[in-house]
Amino acid sequence: MGWFSPDMQTMEELFMHGLQDIYYAENQIKKALPDMVSKASDPELKKGFRMHLKQTNGQIKRLDQAFKKLKQKPKGTKCPAIDGIIDEANEIASEIEDKMVLNAALIAAAQAVEHYEITRYGTLAAWAKLLGRSDVARLFVANLKEEKATDKKLNAIAKRKINRKAAARKKPKMTRAQQDAMLAASTGIPAV
């Protein structure tokens, strides 16, 4: 069921779909964060990713509580948006060799995830209040505050040092053999 599916006819159905969407997203993020920790070379960034993994586990527990309060079984629904953000981050990270530039890319990817989560939690909190579920809205607001704080910390690390270090990196000069191979490849002649 997509976000604009004819299967959703009521605000309650839309709300439950949103909850299942963020539940899936948080669980995908939980799977992706250990890889981000291992790829990051900056100690402060590694620590930040580890801290966010702990927060993500806590956020999933709050979502479990929300499902329980709503008398629903915790369940996710596939979220193409978060899958796309994570896939793009993995693709970019696999193409970057310079560790400083990679750190900048990891922060950018993490902030894309944070912004997605901020959007979802803000919407869910508003909808829960509208539906008379302030008890559930409080859980979303707690997650929302953590997501905003994480985004702010990532932004500070990026501005304070990571982006500057990445910008100072220069592309290594190609050796004569690499230049010859590149030239041969562009003309269709196999390099020996």
Residue 111: pLDDT band (50, 70, 90) is: very high
Q: How many CB atoms lie within 10 A of CB 80?
A: 11
Q: Does 1 reside within a domain?
A: no
**pLDDT(133) > 70:** yes
pLDDT at position 178, please? 67
Range of the domain at 49: 11-187
> For 8-13, what is the mean pLDDT?
90
CB-CB contact of 75 with 16 (8 Å): no
Residue 175: pLDDT band (50, 70, 90) is: confident
Residue type, 80: P
pTM of the model: 0.84
Q: Does 5 reside within a domain?
A: no
> For 25-34, what is the mean pLDDT?
96
The total of structural domains in the chain comes to 1
Q: Does 30 reside within a domain?
A: yes
Q: Does 74 reside within a domain?
A: yes
pLDDT at position 95, please? 87
pLDDT at position 77, please? 94
Q: Does 49 reside within a domain?
A: yes
Residue 177: pLDDT band (50, 70, 90) is: confident
Q: Does 102 reside within a domain?
A: yes
Q: CA–CA separation, 151 vs 186, rounded Å?
A: 43
From the list 53, 56, 46, the residue with the least C-alpha distance to 102 is: 46
Domain holding 179: CATH number? 1.20.1260.10
